[in-house]
Structure 1
């Protein structure tokens, strides 16, 4: 339990990223459950959806079935028929023309709820409308007459109660009782007389209204349009407007109820819950989460009388005013009505209003909607409120726009046959400006055309439980994957990786969108951005702190370039040590004890500083690590903390340059400080596996190397004085240096001997490192002669070997290795080695 608690409380870059991703996944679950809403994400999602539409149209173009066309009230039509809205007789003629042309369905994206008061009898029609408002025969005013029945019933009840009291009235109260009884009888007579008078007035108002209708009959544009609608009732959908509660205040309750009664046949089927889409068994429901309105404003009575189909054309813009969804059904109380788009699609499919069935997600009242079933032919996916995401297929005029002027002139008859015709205003100044994902300003009829096309072609943007679960799963996987990625990738590569991830997420969401799925894009992108910022800031803060600590620890003994590379790869610096193939170098001033005795302390310190400074600079420049100063000795190693295949070559180059630099320094000292003694150094180099790391305590440690190969390099440095040479390297170093440079002739060397050092039985071949590159002509005799002499020595031909070594010393006076081997030949001649001697000399001292 403690480990688990520690895992959650210990902060790392991975955990920061993981918890951030999990927070976004949880937020998405809450959004799907309807428990919360993040306006920023909602706005971002809407904008990205619009971008999906624009991207698809640009890359794939606009394609549709061609079965939906627009009868446009455009500038040409207005020039022909006058200012819009037109006389209803023009609309009636348009209906007849479209029917004659063979249109399959006709829908009006306009309302006909206001009486047409234009024309020759405008004044009379206004009087008729005003009379309808104040007439006692009007439905809204009949209620006042019906209250007479209530009053008569109440008076009769009072008289009966008074009659019952007559038995209990005392003699002295009899006059009061008779007075009350008489007044009730008088009131009843007057009420009856008033009722008879009002009944007469109602009959007179009805007769007068009928006379007005007869006088104006045959001339009323609304009646003319109503007759045209009745003739084509099976294919004409009349637009209506759903009303909110404040808008319903202008409509009398009795009128609203009368409207609902008249439009009963135009309602769609009650919602159902089904176990399966094709199941014949269903559970009817009354209340759902479908969008609810207080009522609707119907067409005028002459138009409504012959109407079979209605459809509301209310728009439901999102928070930013863009229309991305449409409600295919809305409810008024327990009554459900279709949208203009749903009605037109049903007409085109040969269905009736009762064939449009809202399907719920669950069988209880107040359930969320799942889809709208069109007679089993099409099942439209919707969200819980009955909203369908509009799959816009293109920009303005994606659908054919035919001017009403051209239609009425008969120039589009062939194009209209079998088409679904939407009649709407498109001329500037005649329509409500709508905003869609593809257009900043467009007419509403274009939106309806896209919806009808979506329903009939089945090109939906689908959501549902499957998509929701997939999004949650992807959010969780993204939390794990992105956290791991941003925690492991180098900080300087984090931004390019973020760009790749953003492109990948966008590509995946675009492919899903093009395949017809409405998937999220904003949340994973916001998740990506948040994880990137938090993890990168944390890593910058912690890595910069670690870099400062490492820089402080290594800046004194690391090449700046190597140090920066190490800071970029701190994983190479494992605290506690690791074993690796490295090269170690030891250098020492010969006879330093005698030199220190001859110099004062200040002079000695000055000499050491002047000597060690360039030697250290050489080591660092050759990508070496300065391990330590041991008095006058320098210890350095190559290949750590930053690994390199050329570690042995770097060590050899550093040794050669140290010798060359010392020669220049001696010349300088000879001129500037002639009192200084002659300084010679010896350098031993060995390569092989050794342990490198921070050695010491937690309070104080040193970055160093340890192992037998380190000890061997130290012994080689001591042997340089014995062999009378400056640089000794082992066979392992020589092989590694040539391999690192991929050049067998990279160095000029002379094999001096094979020795067996104390504590080890494995012989070590010793080489004198002379220069970088091939040997010079002057030194070839020495190298060849020494090699022949060494071969004779190892073959136990000590006398012949002695003659060669002696000859080399005469020609190359002062050659230390030849002098050493000459003396060793003398010892071998006086005391020959035992039988089985392998030519390896055993060192008896360290």
Structure 2
């Protein structure tokens, strides 16, 4: 048995490491950001001059040529006209026009001596103001103006140029919130095609690593400048925001935040706050065009045509500079440009929400494995192994960054492994062999190796509007759940439902199904949407068999637990109904809330078929269309039933087993005997049918015995109360 000292020695650094990783204090976050910055500097995104983004720069040359900033709004309007005439796809200003133009002639007149003011005012009468000239230019172009959100109410008008559709949890709960805004003048704001917030939230070291796509202003979502420029350039009208617990996102009830924002044709993954971590390039002069050159008409048209043009400044005196992971100082407008480049190029850089948990699990597993290994090998061998693990962690993190666009932190697991090694070796040197054996014994009783699994990525793009496609729908419901629930208190019922729904959900997902919803104790799922599944009916049928088998295994375990506790146990049964047919699938709901679901007559049919399993005394029934779509599974005719809510009778079938059973002699015999039973029953030969049903109930498959007993009872009833042959049950 290992000594207590050894446990303290290896458990101390491991527990401390896990506690620090779980708390994630600011110094640790700073160190992690520094490491991720090193990644970007070592392998930055290469600048592609063919990307449709350019910056029109109010640079030092422009200030020398045009004059000091701010320029008259008439000059800005001329710049907009030049860009629009060159075919710019969008013109976005990384600046705020929140006050009237001080250089407007009408404003300058007020500074003149009174004796000359009146003639000048007369001469200017009827002339458009500079702000009106700029508003006209903005209205004739795909323009986006900047605004700055603030923590205090300003009363400024902030018109919404966009629509918002949200799926899942309310995204307002996750984005940064602001109470007011410094917004463009109402006349300018009304003329522009879009308004984007210029805010970004740098980390503690004032380095900009993430740029928000969405923010909250007085209880409403507003887009950032980069997002709004992309929307206007694509002619889109609405942002689609997907958050936790949207259909297809595995939130399982937890409000983990925003997962993606769809802007036109772009489906952009985000962090939980709706921010994008940008993969930066070094500053490249090819990204910039001098504003003076644009005004002079010396910029080639191909540099502007079809591109998103951001207007900003790199002039040092205007002090619009920020730090990025790659550069210590870049123009603020360049960050917006690099965000758009990042999005349109399909680049991705994500610190996934599961990363910290996975790193903690990896730390625990590696620490425990190392603690197990140390007493069994020499210190040198353990040291080499520990260094190998640290090197593997670093290599794995680098691979994840360069090939998978994931940001994983090897420092926490690495330091924990190093701490476990050093402290474990020191403790082992002080222990006798007997103490080492004792520690091995205790460790072996309490710890088993755990397998670290990675999570499956990206939603798939959902169908935004409904589409009609053939799907197979499954409904699964517990039998006598009301009676069962009455025997449990709230906590016991919750534990039971979790113990039931979790494995059933795993079975559905393992067979390629889409969980639509949980309805109390019922599960609704479907196949062939959103991913194509040519064998959807077969996969759904196999899933139904697997769910039935899984419930049998659960009953064995529950019975064992009940017997161990000395309490009675009644087996839990379920009914499963399958139907196949054309349904409308897609993001269904309202503008405020969308869910990926399905609608159609066959959805209702599947639900009714599931309900019929109780009266038919079977666990699985399928529709005629499902049976026709699956050629290699053993189906048997069940009955022609008039289901509740249906205007005509529906032919239902039993699912007798899997494909192996379908090809067996046992099924051939069963099918012949079943056909004879149904023929005799349909012809009104109830005595003959009863004998066949009783024989099948005792000699056929156990899972169908209750079904054949039902037919025997029907024949008994029909013998005493004759029923027209072929009648509908």
TM-score normalised to structure 2 length? 0.53
1:448 and 1:96 map into 2 onto residues whose CA distance is: 22
CA contact 1:288–1:368 (8 Å) conserved in 2? no
Structure 1 counterpart of 2:24, from 30, 37, 40? 37
Going from structure 1 to structure 2, the CA distance change for 1:236 and 1:319 (only over 3 Å counts) comes to: same
Q: How many Å separate the matches in 2 of 1:504 and 1:217? A: 75
Q: Does 1:272 align with 2:257?
A: no
Q: Give the helix-richer structure, 1 or 2.
A: 1
Q: Paired residue for 2:274?
A: 386
Q: Secondary structure at the match of 2:39?
A: helix
Correspondence 1:480 to 2:368 = yes
Distance 1:303 1:125 in 2: 23
Check 1:481–1:90 CA distance in 2 against 1; reply closer, same or farther (3 A cut).
farther
After TM superposition, list the pairs within 5 Å mapping 1:236-275 onto structure 2.
Answer: 236-245=143-152, 248=153, 251=154, 255-256=155-156, 259-260=157-158, 263-264=159-160, 266-273=161-168
SS at match of 2:43: helix
Contact 2:401 2:408 in 1 (8 A): no
Partners of 1:502 and 1:299 in 2: how far apart? 53
* Per-residue deviation, 1:53: 0.1
Tell whether 2:197 aligns with 1:312: yes
Which residue matches 1:360? 243
Residue aligning to 1:333:
218
Map of 1:579 onto structure 2: none
Deviations 1:307-327 (A, max 9, x none): 220001112100111111111
SS at 1:520 equivalent: coil
- 1:548-587 aligned at under 5 Å gives the runs none
1:205-263 deviations in whole A, cap 9, x for unaligned?
xxxxxxx999665342211111100111xx21101111112xx3xx3xxx44xx14xx0
Of 391, 402, 410 in structure 2, the residue corresponding to residue 514 of structure 1 is 402
For 1:460, what is the secondary structure of its paired residue? Answer: coil
The one-character-per-residue Cα deviations of 1:643-696 (angstroms, maximum 9, x if unpaired) are: xxxxxxxxxxxxxxxxxxxxxxxxxxxxxxxxxxxxxxxxxxxxxxxxxxxxxx
- Of 6, 12, 18, the residue aligned with 2:6 is 12
Deviation at 1:343, TM superposition (A): 0.6
1:228 to 102, 127, 137: 137
Secondary structure of the residue that 1:505 maps to in structure 2?
Answer: helix
Gaps of 5+ in 1: 1-5, 31-35, 128-211, 274-282, 548-569, 572-846
Residues 382-431 of structure 1, C-alpha deviations (whole Å, 9 max, x = no match): 22222221121x11127521111222222222221111111110122223
Partner of 2:259 in structure 1? 371
User: Which of the residues 350, 356, 378 maps onto 2:235?
Assistant: 350
Matches within 5 A, 1:646-685: none
Shift of 1:293: 0.3
State the superposition RMSD in angstroms: 3.5
Contact persistence 1:115–1:222 (CA under 8 A): yes
Distance 1:486 1:303, change over 3 A: farther
Q: Secondary structure at the match of 1:459?
A: coil
Q: What's the counterpart of residue 98 of structure 1?
A: 83
Q: Is the contact between residue 171 and residue 258 of structure 2 (CA under 8 Å) also seen in structure 1?
A: no
Q: Specify whether residues 39 and 468 from structure 1 end up closer, same or farther in structure 2 by C-alpha distance, changes over 3 A only.
A: closer
Larger CA Rg, structure 1 vs 2 = 1
Q: List gaps (5 residues or longer) in structure 2.
A: 113-120, 438-729
Residue 295 (structure 2) aligns with:
408
Q: Distance in 2 between matches of 1:540 and 1:356?
A: 59
Question: Which digits, 9 at most, give the CA deviation of each residue in 1:336-368, with x for residues without a partner?
Answer: 11100101111233312xx11222213799955
CA deviation vs aligned residue, 1:162-192 (integer Å, no higher than 9, x gap): xxxxxxxxxxxxxxxxxxxxxxxxxxxxxxx
TM-score, structure 1 normalization: 0.46
Match of 1:436, SS? coil
> Aligned partners of 1:318, 1:96: CA distance in 2, in Å?
38
Structure 1 CA distance, aligned partners of 2:239 and 2:57? Answer: 28
Match of 1:87 among 60, 68, 72: 72
Cross-structure match for 1:118: 103
| Alignment equivalent of 2:421, drawn from 487, 511, 535 | 535
Partner Cα distance (2:55, 2:430) in 1: 65
* Distance verdict in 2 for CA 1:307–1:23, change over 3 Å: same
Cα separation, 1, equivalents of 2:340 and 2:395: 29
Distance 1:293 1:214 in 2: 45
Give the structure 1 partner of residue 512 of structure 2.
none
Superposition deviation, residue 464 in structure 1: 4.0
CA contact (8 A) 2:366 2:417 kept: no
Residue range with higher mean Cα deviation, 433-442 or 373-382: 373-382
CA 1:542–1:216 in structure 2 vs 1: closer, same or farther (change >3 Å)?
farther
Residue in structure 1 matched with residue 284 of structure 2 by the alignment: 397
> Given the superposition, is the C-alpha separation of residues 304 and 484 from structure 1 closer, same or farther in structure 2, using an over 3 Å criterion?
same
Correspondence for 2:181? 296
Shift in Å at residue 436 of structure 1?
0.5
1:608 matched residue in structure 2 = none
Question: Partners of 1:430 and 1:230 in 2: how far apart?
Answer: 28
| Alpha-carbon contact 1:494-1:536 (below 8 Å) kept | no
| Cα distance in structure 1, aligned partners of 2:123 and 2:222 | 34
2:344 matches 1:456: yes
Contact 2:176 2:273 in 1 (8 A): yes
CA distance in 2, matches of 1:216, 1:492: 92
Cα distance, 1:92 vs structure 2: 0.7
- Counterpart position of 1:432: 320
**Preserved contact between residue 68 and residue 419 of structure 1 (Cα < 8 Å):** yes
Partners in 2 of 1:106 and 1:388 — Cα distance?
Answer: 22
Secondary structure of residue in 2 paired with 1:380: strand
Pairing of 1:826-845 with structure 2 (within 5 A): none
Q: Is the 8 A contact 1:65 1:457 kept in 2?
A: no
| Per-residue Cα deviation, 1:66-88 (whole angstroms, up to 9, x for no partner) | 21111111111111111122111
| Aligned residues of 1:381 and 1:463 also touching (Cα < 8 A) | no
Contact 1:71 1:422 in 2 (8 A): yes
Equivalent of 2:53, from 43, 55, 68? 68
Superposed displacement of residue 10, structure 1? 2.9
Aligned residue pairs, count: 422
Distance 1:485 1:444, change over 3 A: farther
- Cα distance in 2 for residues equivalent to 1:375 and 1:79: 38
1:105 Cα offset (Å):
1.3
In 1, Cα distance between equivalents of 2:5 and 2:333 = 57
Distance in 2 between residues matched to 1:123 and 1:398, nearest whole Å: 37
What displacement does 1:480 show?
A: 3.1
Provide the C-alpha distance between the structure 2 equivalents of 1:346 and 1:217, rounded to a whole number of angstroms: 37
Q: Distance in 2 between matches of 1:484 and 1:407?
A: 69
